[in-house]
Chain A
Amino acid sequence: MPYTRPVPIPGVPTVIAGVVNLSGRIVAVLDLSVLLGAGRVGQSEATRCVLLQAEGLPVAIVPDEIAGLATVARSEMQAAVDLDGLAGETFTNDGKLITVLSPGKLLERAESQIKGGDDAWSS
């Protein structure tokens, strides 16, 4: 879906970038840069918000860029690199190794960062 700047909530851990209104459903946006410990890239008109189901719950993430949509046969999936406990499996697409992130594990990571005190709190 097109990018909508999340509405920030004061006092929440920084792993929550804010919330967006999706046709009357308020969905929390997880900040991937905090979850993955990566740098931030600014948003542009090409930026998209991706809605996921994590353990049956709707959450959204904002990737830097959507490279495409791939259908991968089960047989092409390989054991995951660990990626600090976030990855499910990997596959190869156009010679590139793609790591499959599990939405459930993203949510678990967010929870564990907060419980472990790794996460900062927004102001």
Chain B
Amino acid sequence: MELLTCSLGETSLALISDQVTRVRRWGASDVAVRRPLAEALGLSVEIACARELLCGAPGAEVAFGIPSSVVQQKAAPGSIVAPSQVLKRLRAPAWLAGFFISPTSSGGGLALIVDLTLLSTAAPLPQESSR
């Protein structure tokens, strides 16, 4: 399985989508919806978007802004772990497809796998910052 990995602040991410995606220069695509990925995930970090990753059906694509440091990685067998039952019970967001265990990721070698297709249709997060 091929993953696009990047870091937003201290958070390591691996991006997947079951729909065709394209990577272009930030702002280059003609789309109705364009959002920095950090903002879409509710991360309170300021990341300069160098590129955008297009996700969704043609004509209804969403462009997620990503940093330039995106790397394509092949996931080794056993390196992808699904969200646990506890996380499902405690309402982990639908876009959290699992975890990618990678020696190159920060945060204990753990990257959150983000399903961009589900993220593109997710409701905005409640604005809260208690942590």
Contact = CB atoms under 8 A, between A and B. Distances in A.
A85 interface: no
A21 B101 contact: yes
Given A24-B101, A25-B81, A123-B125, A19 B87 contact: yes
A59 interface: yes
Interface string A110-123: 11001000001111
Interface stretch (A6-14, A64-72, A74-82, A87-95): A6-14
B81 A123 contact: no
Nearest to B43: A10
Given A10-B11, A14-B131, A21-B109, A121 B84 contact: no
B130 A26 contact: no
A8 B95 CA distance: 15
B8 to A, nearest CB: 9
Contacts of B44: 123
Nearest to A59: B86
Contacts of A25: 81
Nearest to B41: A10
Given A114-B90, A123-B125, A14 B130 contact: yes
A101 interface: no
Interface residues of A, number: 32
B128 A120 contact: yes
A123 B11 CA distance: 12
Give the residue among A16, A26, A57, A120 with the most B Cβ atoms within 10 A.
Answer: A26
Nearest to B126: A121
Nearest to A27: B84
Contacts of A43: none
A122 B128 contact: yes
A31 B131 CA distance: 11
B128 A11 contact: no
8 contacts: A5-B108, A9-B96, A10-B42, A15-B90, A20-B108, A24-B78, A26-B81, A123-B129
Given A26-B84, A28-B84, A123-B42, 7 more contacts: A7-B11, A12-B93, A19-B110, A20-B108, A57-B86, A107-B89, A123-B127
Interface of B: 11-12, 41-44, 78, 81, 83-87, 89-93, 95-96, 99, 101, 107-110, 112, 125-131
